[in-house]
Amino acid sequence: MLRRCAMKILIKNVYVITMDDEDNRYPNGCIAVQGDTVVYVGDAEGLPEGFVPDEVIDGCGMLALPGFVNAHTHSAMSLFRGYANDIPLMDWLAQKIWPLEDRLQPEDAYWLSMLSIAEMVMSGVTAFADMYMFMDQTARAVEHSGLRAVLARGLQGLDARSEQRLIENRQLWEEWHGGAEGRIRVMVGPHAIYTCDGNYLKRCMDLAEQLGVGLHIHLAETRTEVDEALKKYGKTPVEYLESMGFFNLPVLAAHCVHLTPHDMDILKEHDVQVAHCPISNLKLGSGIAQVSLLLEKGINVGLGTDSAASNNSLSVMREMTFAALLGKGINEDPTVIPAKQALKMATIDGAKAIGWSQEIGSLEPGKKADVMLVKCDVPHYHPAADPVTHLVYSGRDADVDTVIVNGKVLMRRRQLTTIDLERVYYEVEAIRRRVMGGA
């Protein structure tokens, strides 16, 4: 039986920003990809002579970077983009979102996730962490689109469906962990302490331990969440979870807006990964996370968009800009969260947050070929300056020209190669009419 040779791609004439530990950059660089793996990154003259590409991509006038990582989202909530705006989080959930979610059918999640995936690819995202329902359908969308994802079934309890949700999370792991050519991983997803009682949280922990995976949870998102925890348990949400041993497992904690210094010490001690979602937190009036203090303590922070329902956009580029600017503004210190730090949060630190930094998040030989090319031959990148500064403070989603994941080109010159956008729009509009009607 003949084996097909791995596809070889050469990206040449490009300014390479590796995001590796040494912060190597190659102004006249190239990247060689074989199969799903980067085999060379460096100056053009250093390219191994024996490397003969099947495809050559000319990166003239572009930056090459590792793809962005969206460390927290709910992709199938794209249906609710632009719906129920300007409402506090708990009213938004209980009065607007949850009633409509009850009308969703499992197969809806495939098309709604595909819409979000298309948006993410077109804005340079190559990996995302997702928590929602009907996650097998989201997994199918990830498989078909070529993106990379860490998926968790959103878990709530106790109610009539609590046990079934745990079963679905286990089934998700059994069917999809390591699937889609290794592009899918699975976590366990307890929604929050206010939707899961203590016994149910322990059931989630037990499941994660059995499966050998981590936990993805919303944590300290609003002041109300903290106040209710103090009233009910005499502890902050972070202290409460620590008291039950929750942080003895790998944890990805979304938001972490309202933290005490002691909370931060706990997160640091247990190496909890934080997904900072500045725009969603602003739009819902939840507050502004003290990211500079988290970073000072050595806590790893990635960036997330949350859903298109609470953000209206799935742009990590935009989150990166807001993260940098908010940090400076609330601290009244322009040195806080410099551009380089913001880009790290969007790439290598985001990869670490979702537990994948050994394979993605930087451009290095041996790592997976998750690459984006960003046009810098546009007015807002001129006059010439540090390209990272321009990217963070001037960059736009439309600058993203090409996206490669696992060595496969998912977007070339702004054209998606694996997603039929017109079909996606048609299916999503049909879902909108059925579920939302005149809402």
**Quick one: pLDDT band at residue 96, thresholds 50, 70, 90?**
confident
Choice among 89-93, 375-379, 428-432 with the minimum mean pLDDT: 89-93
Mean pLDDT of the chain: 96
- Using an 8 Å Cβ cutoff, are 253 and 281 in contact? no
49: CB partners within 8 A, 6+ apart: none
Phi, psi of 392 (to 5 degrees): -75, -40
Work out the average pLDDT over 236-240.
98
pLDDT tens digits, one per residue of 175-216: 999 999 999 999 999 999 999 999 999 999 999 999 999 999
Specify the pLDDT at position 106.
Answer: 95
Distance CA 376, CA 51 (A): 28
Distance CA 322, CA 305 (A): 11
Helix (H, G, I), strand (E, B) or coil at 397: helix
Distance of CA 231 to the CA centre of its chain: 33
- Using an 8 Å Cβ cutoff, are 347 and 21 in contact? no
Q: Angle, to 10 degrees, between the axis of helix 387-394 and the axis of helix 316-331?
A: 90
Specify the pLDDT at position 1.
Answer: 37
What would the two tokens of residue 314 be?
């799935």
**Quick one: pLDDT band at residue 404, thresholds 50, 70, 90?**
very high
Distance CA 187, CA 275 (A): 15
Strand 62-66 and strand 251-255: the pairing is unpaired
Which DSSP string do the residues of 178-209 spell out, in sequence order?
THHHHTEEEEEEE--TTTB-HHHHHHHHHHHH
Specify the pLDDT at position 87.
Answer: 80
pLDDT above 90 for 90: no
pLDDT above 70 for 245: yes
Tell me what percent of the residues of the chain surpass a pLDDT of 70. Answer: 98
For each of the domains in the chain, give its residue range(s) and CATH number, in order of start: 8-66+362-416 (2.30.40.10), 68-353 (3.20.20.140)
pLDDT above 50 for 2: no
Distance CA 239, CA 342 (A): 28
Q: Angle, to 10 degrees, between the axis of helix 135-145 and the axis of helix 108-122?
A: 40
Helix (H, G, I), strand (E, B) or coil at 148: strand
**Quick one: pLDDT band at residue 28, thresholds 50, 70, 90?**
very high
267-184-369-344 Cα dihedral, nearest 10 degrees: -20
Work out the average pLDDT over 232-259.
98
How far CA 269 is from CA of 250, 272, 300, in Å, comes to: 12, 8, 12
pLDDT above 60 for 340: yes
Distance CA 362, CA 368 (A): 9
Work out the average pLDDT over 55-64.
98
pLDDT above 80 for 3: no
Element containing residue 275 per DSSP (H, E) = strand 273-276
426: CB partners within 8 A, 6+ apart: none
Residue type present at position 119: E
Tell me what percent of the residues of the chain surpass a pLDDT of 90. Answer: 92
Strand 400-405 and strand 408-412: the pairing is antiparallel
* Buried-state track 115-151, b at ≥16 Cβ within 10 A, e below 16: bbbbbbbbbbbbbbbbbbbbbbbbbbbbbebbbbbbb
Distance CA 47, CA 36 (A): 18
With left for phi above 0 and alpha for psi between -120 and 50, is residue 13 left, alpha or beta?
left
- Strand-pairing partners, residue 189, are 154
